[in-house]
Structure 1
């Protein structure tokens, strides 16, 4: 099968001759198989893959095919007066893929609003809403290594498309079985036909004004922002201009940027894995910290939707906070501040994912605020905001996921590191004025609510064989899992593929009212839990672990034992 696709590309008049030569020169049969054994999967996250030639790679042909499918979907759904916003990040080929998509849409008579320069993913979400577009595209592979790029699709509400829309678009893409069906005009023709519009700077200004309006303690920030000392790294990505501009306009004068990581660069020369979840990306910032002695260090990933925060602990050592830790700090800060100013809404909701810390629910309970769980992926948080807006019965306050994504406000419908950096600065300033570090504030929360500890283990399983191994592990856990783990009873099994939550103590079942997803969650008698799911964007299986201890040491010991027991089960399942 893969050989047929390979030969089709070699013989197609639509493939560039130089690219055909490149394909002919591949002398590793396994490499040919990996490039052509399947089409790059279009899921709710759109496309993501290694840049290169082949059906299982990111290139102008796979981007063109996906966009043609999206064009047909939009034409069938909306008929006329259709416009799409497109943004792109700093990655290799991002601009070219954005222009390929724009020219395809315009060839189908669809108007395109294209950012002139690289922009953060959340600003694409904002542009879709502000410019009344029917869809949006952003070219990014988020925090993946430099070999990757991706293509994310957004709906007219500014949120990432969810399952139903993704399946409809996929059906349209699958109808395109020949390169001749992919329409294209060049940029000049698109402009002459008034189908291509370059987004003006006014949109940036209006977005930043809305971010600034999210500040809760305006008087505090107005009077003391200059007293906060910050080190910031954009990790060669899109965050440099909007993050610094927002903080500067709010009065944060002492923001020091890591020069070596300031300029956009898709090769990520100082951070092979440009992910603020990885402590190694902060090595240059930590060198700067020796002289600057900042109150806070933070970094944004290449498309500026994730934020990593570094604080000094009680021993004077810098440590990267987890996404869960930043999320619970922000949850507490936002709720306590809104309550103090009598602005806590009735029927307010915090939204988090099923793999995110339950500590947020314990905190929210003290403020009579409910927490809603959604599937992994910020698109599901965005979907809840839309639902609250349409029904009018609940008010969105804050949402976060363990993978360093946070969002306040409702003018963006995806995680937003420009917003998050502004809130983290305000929160750090508040605690500083109270004589407390952010780390001390976190310890206070642990002492009050319990020492929650979470961990993520990702196992890379590449190619066709790896995909089969992942399926085997999930099948075994779904059908052959025992009722105990170590010496602890499993009291609940949640199967999100079958939409069933089983109470193993009372022997009862209830329906899980979330979209179906190949995810399993097991809850233990001692409130620890673990989740197993395949990554939606990488060839990995992900295992999420959570325990609660009476102290930091106790939670660490519990995690070590729990991890050992869970990983034994995973290994035996393969």
Structure 2
């Protein structure tokens, strides 16, 4: 069926509600119509994400219906036990999140699959926990995480609490694609679903159990209880789902001096006070900085709308506030967790951390210092969770901490996704411990790590390339980088090129090739002599191609200059490719 035929079906068939059809009537741009209908919104290993609007390549209740129908059919294939175990569903503060979550629950119910639906917005990591706690066969969270306000998404989790693995995702996708028609997928009524025991609302009872497990991760709970009130913290949930649980976790441990940014406390799908609900962006902390100055806070914390990411800003000795990168937070927490467990005598044999190939190699050096193994996985926290499960099932490793450079962190074994609540309590405790016990700030701890292992500095750039043409341009960029064997960038020698799409690496010094064991992925990674790398990958969730830069030097000033030069060299090369 052509995109025009799809458009006409949605425009004219009474299955689609009047609001959707009216929206489509207003379209007069053929390129916009093509972009909305030339394909289905892609269902990948984590689910789907897109702009909210009418169309097969957009997020709307009809896309939710079709995808959930495919999931329901896959669960029904597991028989009555799987259907009875059911699916737990959470959602964030975005437009239509609650509506999409209920729609999914009622489609499941119509197929005889039980749905547990949270009574109000909840963080993504709590959804992961709830899958494990309720022993459901799957989970759904309606969120677009840190994307702009125009987006929403639908992530699927499997029975271990991790994002649905590739094999199961392929099975679900096969059932979605087997249904060519968009028509005739109808939800059960809410009243009937409740009456038949196929819809159960859940809430605070899950919160209490989850928070009790989070608090168990504190390494110095007595210090927290006795002196936590001395640490002044400003927290903002960015109008999202983290507000109640982050504050509760901190307060119950003893961190009672927490000031919330009032303007960003309540859910707001327009994210009115911030340009983009992503704590990686410095300007999102503008209000928190003002609050910090007023209360002389030492620590500013921010979670994104579904509270799986944590951003951190620290007060410097001169009173200014400086934002940490995701890698700096990850290294600080890795160092804190491993060093304190070693000091307390609770660092187990076969201890391991897990990080992504896009994250700083400084964490590898820290782990080796404590004789802890490192597992590097593809970008995406689902791969960290999968590796943790492999360790657990195989008994060959004891997971201690995991992180990715995009502000995602995890400790413990009861959540299988990045967790902004867990990261918040560990970061607060680390700041308190070093200040009150070792009389050092987190800046001073980070500086000591650099002095031990070298100054690793990192940065990122992204090119937004939207629509069909954008996808073609991404392909051209990646093809060109593969064809040109780049041996140096601004004078810094490249010693290895790893192509995860071809699953082949090459040592440029010896000329030898080797196999890469990670799953196939459209990623190129160029490793520098002496440490650091450049990595390029198209995003799996946004219309962007991402560039990761990491350099190592003996001093901060040299590292800063090297980082600037490497970025300029790479981005000039990309501009040249695009101009051809």
What range is the shorter-chain TM-score in? over 0.9
Deviations 1:389-421 (A, max 9, x none): 111121000000000000000100000001000
Give 1:430 deviation, angstroms. 0.6
What SS class does the counterpart of residue 77 from structure 2 fall into?
Answer: helix
Q: Which residue of 1 aligns with 2:154?
A: 151
Does the aligned pair in 2 maintain the 1:314–1:439 contact within 8 Å? Answer: no
Aligned equivalents of 1:539, 1:168: Cα separation in 2: 25
In 2: Cα distance, 1:37 partner to 1:138 partner = 26
Q: Secondary structure at the match of 2:90?
A: strand
After superposition, the Cα gap between the structure-2 partners of 1:200 and 1:486, relative to the gap in structure 1 and judged at 3 Å, is closer
- Structure 2: gaps spanning 5 or more residues: none
Contiguous gaps of at least 5 residues in structure 1: none
The answer as to 2:489 corresponding to 1:462 is: no
Select between 193-202 and 234-243 the one with higher mean Cα deviation.
193-202
CA distance in 2, matches of 1:526, 1:448: 15
Residue in 2 that maps onto 1:34: 35
4+ residue runs over 6 A deviation: none
What is the TM-score normalised by the length of structure 2?
0.97
Contact 2:361 2:531 survives alignment (8 Å): no
TM-superposed CA distance for 1:79, in Å, is: 5.3
Q: 1:438 and 2:439 equivalent?
A: no
Report the Cα distance in structure 2 between the residues aligned to 1:57 and 1:375, rounded to whole angstroms.
Answer: 27
Deviation of residue 477 (structure 1)?
A: 1.1
Hey, what does 1:16 align to over in structure 2? 17
Matched-pair contact (CA < 8 Å) for 1:520–1:532: yes
- Higher mean C-alpha displacement, 117-126 vs 313-322: 313-322
Residue 4 of structure 2 aligns to a residue in which SS?
A: helix
Aligned to 1:550: 554
The answer to whether structure 1 residue 96 and structure 2 residue 102 are counterparts is no
Alpha-carbon deviation of 1:422?
0.4
More divergent stretch after superposition (299-308 vs 19-28): 19-28
Structure 1 Cα separation of the partners of residues 328 and 79 of structure 2: 43
**Equivalent residues in 2 for 1:293-332 (5 A)?**
293-332=296-335
- Give how far 1:187 is off: 1.0
1:97, distance to aligned residue in structure 2 (A): 0.3
- The count of aligned residue pairs is 574
In structure 1, what is the Cα distance between the partners aligned to 2:435 and 2:79?
52
The residue matched to 2:115 in structure 1 has which SS?
Answer: strand
**Aligned-pair distance for 1:505?**
1.7
Please give the alpha-carbon distance, in whole angstroms, between the structure 1 residues aligned to 2:19 and 2:147.
Answer: 28
- Structure 1 vs Structure 2 CA RMSD: 1.3
Residue correspondence of structure 1 range 364-513 to structure 2 within 5 A: 364-433=367-436, 434-513=438-517
C-alpha separation in 2, matches of 1:322 and 1:488: 23
Alpha-carbon distance change, 5 to 481 in structure 1, aligned in 2, over 3 angstroms:
farther
CA distance in 1, matches of 2:187, 2:222: 53
Matches within 5 A, 1:262-277: 262-277=265-280
State the alpha-carbon separation in 2 of the partners of residues 267 and 224 from structure 1: 38
Q: Distance in 2 between matches of 1:180 and 1:116?
A: 29
2:295 matches 1:292: yes
Residue 520 of structure 1 corresponds to 524
TM-score of the pair, normalised by structure 1: 0.98
Cross-structure match for 2:197 = 194
1:66-102 per-residue CA deviation (whole Å, 9 max, x = no partner) reads 1011111222245544200000000000000001100
Aligned to 1:8, the other structure's residue is in SS state: helix
Q: Secondary structure at the match of 1:180?
A: coil
> 2:87 aligns to what?
84
Corresponding residue number in structure 2 for 1:249: 252
